[in-house]
Structure 1
Amino acid sequence: MMDTADLSTLLETLCPMFVMVDSAGEIVNAGPTVQKLRPDEPMKGRAFLDIFELVRPRTVTTIPALLSLAGGKVHLRFHDEPRTALKGLIAPLPDGDGAIINLSFGISILDAVRDYALTSADFSGTDLAIELLYLVEAKSAAMEASRSLNLRLQGAMLAAEEQAVTDMLTGLKNRRAMDMVLGHLISSGSAFALMHLDLDFFKSVNDRLGHAAGDFVLQQAARIMEEETRNDDTVARIGGDEFVIIFKGLVDEGVLSDIAVRLINRLRQPMMFQGAPCQISASVGTALSTQFKTPDAAELLNAADQALYEAKRQGRSRHCLYSALVEAGFRTASSQ
C-alpha cells in the first residue's frame, strides 16, 4: 500500500494544488502551487482552518464536518490578503486518518494568475486552466496587436491630415489650411488682418543659381515670417513665392505696418547659399476684416492683393495698406 510520502510525491505531479490534512486538521503536506500562493508562510504543520476560511456550505465550520464530506465540494478563501477565492473537492484518505483537498481557482483564475505570477508550469498538464491561460494570452496578444495597429493607423491619419494642410517645402500652412482658417474666423465673427507678401527678384535667384537655391530662399523666408509672427497667427505659402499671414485679433494698422517693415528689412538681407549671395526683397499688402460689413474670404484676399500690387507699382520692397487705396478712391469690384 502507498505510504503518505509516496502519495504526496504523486499528488505534486498530478494535483499541484492539493492540501493533505490529518484527522485533527493539521496540514501534512501541500502541493507546490498552493504553497506558492503563500511563499513566506510554510503550510506544513499548520492548522488548515488557520490558513483557510470555509465559506460554503455554511454548515461546515469544523474539521470533522469537513472530513465527513467525502466527494463533497467546498468554497473557501484565505484569511489574509489577497483573499483569493478557491474551490475544493474532498477525498478522504483510505485509512480514515484525514483527507486530501484538491483546490482550484474557478472563475478567479485570471486574478490569481495576475496576483501570484502563475504560469502553465504551476498547473497539472491536463488542467483546463492551461487552455484558458493560453486563450487569455492569445487574446491579450491579439488585443495588443490591435491596439498597436490602431495607434499606427491613427498616427498615419494624423500625419495625412497634417500633410494635407502643410506646405512640404517650407513647413508652413498651405492654401487649403489658409482657406480653413479664414472660414473659421469669418464664421465666428473674429476680427483679423490678412497680409499678402510676395518675394521680389525670386525668379532671378532661380535662374542664376538653380532651383536648389530657390528652395533654400523659400525656406529661409518662411523661417523669418514665423519668427516675426505670434503662435496664434497663421503663415501660409499659397503659391511659388507668395505668402499670406493671418493675424487673429490684430487690426491695428500701425502695428501691422511695423511688422511689415521688419519683414521687408530682414528679407532684403542677402541669404548665402553655397557661398553665393541670394538677394531678394518683399512687397506686402494688408487688408482688415473690419473694413468690410460682411467679410468674405475672396473679397479680403482680393483687397490684400490689390494693396500688394500697389506696393510693387510704387517700387517694390514696400508695404501698402488697403485702407490707403480706399482713401484714394479705389474700390474692389465686390465692394462697389
Structure 2
Amino acid sequence: MSTGGEDPEGQVVAGRYRLGPVIGVGSSAVVRRGRDLRDGVRVAVKLFHPGATADDRRQQRREMDALSRLDHPGLVGLRDGGTVSGRPFVVTDLVEGPTLAQRIGSGPLPADRVRRLGAQLADALAHVHAGGIVHRDVKPANVLLGDGSRAHLADFGIAKALDGAAVTEAGMIVGTAAFLAPEQARGQDVGPPADVYALGLVLLEALTGRREYPGRAVESATARLHRRPTVPADLPDGLGAVLAAMTEDDPAARPTAAEVAAALAPPSRHRRGARHRRSAATGRPGRRAALPVAAAAALLVAAGFGSVALLSPAPVPATAATPAAPAAP
C-alpha cells in the first residue's frame, strides 16, 4: 500500500484487503468498505491516519484485544489487524446500514423501536461486561443498525479491561462528552455502570431526537453534575422508569446491563433474560434502581411489542480526551 497523499481507494492492505469507499471518519482513523481477496467477503477496514502515534497503536491493540475476547451477535466481529506502511489497521465484519446517529438525524424513533433497540444493546453490553471489559464510548455513532433486525455495538478503541491499568493521565477523561457518566466527568475510574448510563442517554436521544447534554466538551460534561436527565413523563409501559434508573447519579444505584436487557426484552424473552441478570464482571444488581426496573419489567411482560425497523443518515461527533470536570458544589 502506498503512503502517498493519493486516494487509497482500490489499493490493497496487507496483500489481502482491497479498499473501497469511505464509510466513516474519526479523529484518529478512517473506516472504509473493503473486500477480502481470499474469500470475496465484504469487510470494514479501519485504517489509522498517516503518522500514527503511540496512542493510535495502543488504541488498535485495545480494540483488537477486546474484540478477540468477545463473541456476540450484537457486536462487530474481528477478522484481522496489523500495521502497513506504518499505519495500524483493524479489519472487522461489515455491517451494512446507517448508524443510530444517522437514523436520529431523520427524527425521533417510536418508543417500541427504542425499547427493542435498548434490549439488544444492553444484552450486548452484558456480554462485554461479563468478558471483563468496559466499552467507555457508548454513543449513537457507535451503534450500527444494519438491516434493522439487530443493532451492533462498534468501536472498542478506548475500551478498558476491568483488571487492566489506567490508560489516561490523571485528571483527564476519555469518551464523548455528551454521553459521559457523572463519574467519568469527574475523572474517576469507571466500570460497567458508566456504560449503562451512556446507553440510557443514547436511548433518551433516540426517543426525543435531541441531545440531553449538548454544547462544547466541558460545558456538556459538567452539565450532568448539576441536573439529572429529563425523562419524558408520558413514555409507555415502564420505559421511563428504566431510563431513570439507568441514568442515576450514583453508579451503585444503576441496574446492570443484564437487568436492563431483561426489563426491556419482549415478553417471550423476559423470563430467560431474568436468569442472567448477574455476572461476575458486573458485580452486583442495581440498588435503588432495582425496584423501578423490576416494576418496568413486570409492565413490559404484560404488554406486547412489535419488531424494529431502522433507517437513514447524518454526521458523527469525534471521541476526545477532556479535562476532568470539577465536582458540583
Q: Which has the larger radius of gyration?
A: 1
Give the TM-score range, shorter chain: under 0.3
Q: TM-score, normalised by structure 1?
A: 0.20
Higher relative contact order (Cα pairs below 8 Å, separated by 6+ residues): 2
Relative to its length, the structure with more helix (as a share) is 1
